[in-house]
Structure 1
Amino acid sequence: MNGRSSFFEDGQFLYSVLHDYSYIRIIIHHIDARGGLLHMSKEAILFTANRPETIMSHGEGMRMWDTEGREYLDFIGGWAVNSLGHSSAVVQQALAEQSARLVCASPGFYNKPMLAFAEQLTALSGFDRVFFGSTGAEANESAIKLARKFGSVHRNGAFEIITTLGGFHGRTLATMAATGKPHWQTLFAPKMPGFVHVPFNDIDAMRQAVSERTCAIMLEPVQGEGGVHVADPAYIAALRELCDEQGILLIFDEIQTGLGRTGKLFAYEHYGVKPDIMTLGKGIGGGFPLSAMLTKAQYDLFEAGDQGGTYTGQPLAMAVGRAVVDEIVSRDLSSHAYELGAYLKDKLQAWRVRFGLRNIRGLGLLLGFDLPEPSGKEIVAACMARGLLINSPSPSVIRIMPPLIVTREDIDQMLATLEHVLQRLNLEQA
């Protein structure tokens, strides 16, 4: 749209007047408590989610503040993204130092932070090769493409990937097709073919689904979005055996579970079973857009042009990722997540009879529990009104995934607020 803008200020508001050939549009910007301009109209945002009216302004550590100055204790952590908390000094320093050197070299060149981070990740994970992306869905797309490339080269064109019901792998067309959400199966038709869904933790169903068309099995070791369901050790061991028997790949989606979240640096370490491909995202960048797909040397199969992306190995992201992973490892936040997760789980177990909580589950600081009735939405809203952020991935489930820096005092404060809400909503059992 052609036009010009002019601005004039009046007290606490700035008026932006867009002059066009056919109309004049006036947009009011509120000047918030920190002196920043805030566009108060939400009409310019394409609707994709039901969001509260609250507008977040800034954060530090375990807490965020909105534009009205209200404080929130964050037990969502950006959906398990802010592994080091909000506005981590580690992330700030990495961004400042690298942005002064090189922000983007183009994916057609190596850069120093890319090589250093690749060496760090492969050494820590035990894999040999890494591809970097910006989102978890992009990492999972890379895994899907690599598995199909493997099927083309080594399995006579096999292309099917078996995934699990309740799993979640992203919102691109391919990762939505891979995701085991029944109500997604007809969304954005025609659905991308080549995915077979079977029940989670059911090895017999998995065995029956394998055919000459199968190139890989893909799953989350802990289903996050699906409600925090943990894979059984015997199931994972049987999957590894099945893949070895059939000559197919085992892919672990560790977008949510990787980098210390479950009490180990990687969730696969809980099982003593190593996948052929592993994807990472969320906590790997501490809030900066970053993801990775790792694999073994024998599956380095892509040819030039098969895979790529504008921001692949972007120096800024690489520097942040390396700094975040350094911090997680040097502070042993994996062990911290294990200890604090056990502390929180014990506290919740004590409420089983009192509030009717069922199936308290999870690993480390990725925990969930079932409610006696489908009141998750009401609980989340009531907690937010009292300054606590938690998540309900489905009406009868609460999911808790705070930053890895959470303390016992933070947990006690969270529990005090949650207890008050459960009492207020009359969820105490007679």
Structure 2
Amino acid sequence: MSDNTVNRATFDAVMVPNYNPPAIIPVRGKGSRLWDQEGREYIDFAAGIAVNALGHCHPALLNALKTQADKVWHLSNVFTNEPALELAKKMTGRTFAEQVFFCNSGAEANEAAFKLARKYAHDNFSGDKHEIIAFHQAFHGRTLFTVSVGGQAKYREGFEPVPAGISHVPFNDIEALRAAISEHTCAVVMEPIQGEGGVIPADPEFAKAVRTLCDEHQALLIFDEVQTGVGRSGALYAYESLGVTPDILTSAKGLGGGFPIGAMLTTKKVGASFGVGSHGTTYGGNPLGCSVAKAVLDVVDTPETLDGVQRRHDLIVERLEAINAQHHCFSQIRGKGLLLGAELSPRWQGRGGDVLAAAREQGLMLLIAGPNVLRFTPSLIIPEDDIQQGMDRLERAIETLKPNNQ
């Protein structure tokens, strides 16, 4: 147990109020379990918002971090470093990409992708080809540029004026995109599965049609795989199972397994527009993050792990359907791999936060994607017994709320 010299009240005293965490403060994790300051145990179905791809304190990640910590932590990009080069070789060897830019987060990866798309259009066409098309309910980060490309107005309000040349159309609506795209479009950006927007998968035929439209208008296709990448969908990257190859792909979250790292992947043709001095980062590609990310990929990019994602998917869906048969709380269960959303039924609308709070009381951590969708993003290797126990706890949480819905 912790000595509790800091607590939730400390947050209100010393932190800006942009977050509103619950009273509990987790202090230790192992596998898919967490313990708070009081020693209470929780099963973790959130995994740091799809970040802890291998759970907490995975031995391969610990070993990679500790080994590199004894060598060199930071050089800046005045120099390159061996772990960054080794990770880049691993990622380009396993994907469509030929070149990589490393940074610290998903937002930074997307910022780099959007800048590169505009720079590529400027270099190869004209300054008039600068418009970016994204989708309603999309989420791409919290920098001013990425929050502007994101399709949720609530995240932009109060930060105007935002960058110009950005438009949004409905997701999975190819005719809306066809009407919006033009010779001025430099890029279309999409998530293979909208995460924050409600766990909405892209229809494969829609994704293929987006690729075709981009080709017809000489626009780049950017896949934001910050949440879907690194095995989360059941493939190493979701574009593989969609059968659509982007020009630029962004990765973060699970890539570091909890250590901050992001990456933008692209082809040599497109990457050439990021010439010397055109973009940069002080910490991006640091030896510690790259060493951990290499270890993550070594574990995730195996048949055992990727096939196991689908087994765990099926188990969670089976339990969600059984809970729904008993309590009639979900109108739809959707998603791929271990990015799953359970949309609350009409009589449960708006109660996602209540379910999360009740689940914590039962010893379960999960997420929401808006007020009406429960989001499940556990470790890719969560033990199946932890899934069963976690779903038992979810059902008990729902049972405690049920009388309010009758």
| TM-score normalised by L of structure 1 | 0.89
Partner of 2:257: 286
Aligned ranges for residues 20-419 of structure 1 at < 5 Å?
A: 33=1, 38=6, 41-42=10-11, 43-157=13-127, 158-300=129-271, 301-330=273-302, 332-356=304-328, 357-372=330-345, 373=348, 374-419=350-395
TM-superposed deviation, 1:420: 1.2
**Structure 1 residues 90 and 248, CA gap change in structure 2 (3 angstroms):** same
Mean Cα deviation higher: 265-274 or 149-158? 149-158
Contact 2:327 2:402 in 1 (8 A): no
Which entry has the higher C-alpha Rg, 1 or 2? 1
TM-superposed deviation, 1:169: 0.2
Distance 1:299 1:338 in 2: 34
Structure 2: stretches of 5+ with no match in the other structure: none
Contact 2:2 2:38 in 1 (8 A): no
TM-superposed deviation, 1:83: 0.4
TM-superposed deviation, 1:421: 1.5
Q: Which has the higher contact order (CA 8 A, sep 6+)?
A: 2
Distance 2:403 2:235 in 1: 34
Residue 137 of structure 2 aligns to a residue whose secondary structure is coil
1:195-220 deviation digits (Å, cap 9, x = unpaired): 11100000001111112221000010
Distance 1:423 1:370 in 2: 17
Residue 369 of structure 2 aligns to a residue whose secondary structure is strand
Distance 1:48 1:332 in 2: 40
Distance 1:408 1:326 in 2: 22
TM-superposed deviation, 1:155: 2.8
1:375 partner letter? R
Distance 1:44 1:34 in 2: 20
2:307 partner letter? S
1:184 partner letter? Y
Contact 2:199 2:369 in 1 (8 A): no
1:298 partner letter? K
Mean Cα deviation higher: 227-236 or 300-309? 300-309
TM-superposed deviation, 1:355: 2.5
1:161-204 deviation digits (Å, cap 9, x = unpaired): 10000110000000000110022343301111121110000000
**Structure 1 residues 66 and 429, CA gap change in structure 2 (3 angstroms):** closer
RMSD, aligned CA: 1.7
**Structure 1 residues 393 and 237, CA gap change in structure 2 (3 angstroms):** same
TM-superposed deviation, 1:35: 6.3
TM-superposed deviation, 1:49: 1.2
Distance 1:89 1:205 in 2: 48
Contact 1:355 1:427 in 2 (8 A): no
Distance 2:60 2:238 in 1: 24
Residue 394 of structure 1 aligns to a residue whose secondary structure is coil
Distance 1:94 1:331 in 2: 22
Q: Which runs of 4+ in 1 moved over 6 A?
A: 427-430
1:331-373 deviation digits (Å, cap 9, x = unpaired): 6322211121122112222344433211200000000011122
1:110 partner letter? T
Could you say which structure has the higher helix fraction? 2
Could you say which structure has the higher strand fraction? 1
**Structure 1 residues 152 and 205, CA gap change in structure 2 (3 angstroms):** same
Aligned-pair identity in percent equals 42
1:293-336 deviation digits (Å, cap 9, x = unpaired): 00011112112111110012111111111111111124632221
Contact 1:82 1:287 in 2 (8 A): yes
**Structure 1 residues 186 and 429, CA gap change in structure 2 (3 angstroms):** closer
Residue 42 of structure 2 aligns to a residue whose secondary structure is strand
2:233 partner letter? T
TM-superposed deviation, 1:96: 0.9
Residue 383 of structure 1 aligns to a residue whose secondary structure is helix
1:28-50 deviation digits (Å, cap 9, x = unpaired): xxxxx356864772211111111
Mean Cα deviation higher: 176-185 or 244-253? 176-185
Contact 1:216 1:248 in 2 (8 A): yes
Structure 1: stretches of 5+ with no match in the other structure: 1-32
Distance 1:122 1:412 in 2: 37
Contact 1:162 1:198 in 2 (8 A): yes
TM-superposed deviation, 1:69: 0.6
Contact 2:118 2:186 in 1 (8 A): yes
1:243-273 deviation digits (Å, cap 9, x = unpaired): 1111110000000000100111110011111
Distance 2:4 2:361 in 1: 24
TM-superposed deviation, 1:428: 10
Q: Does 1:422 align with 2:398?
A: yes
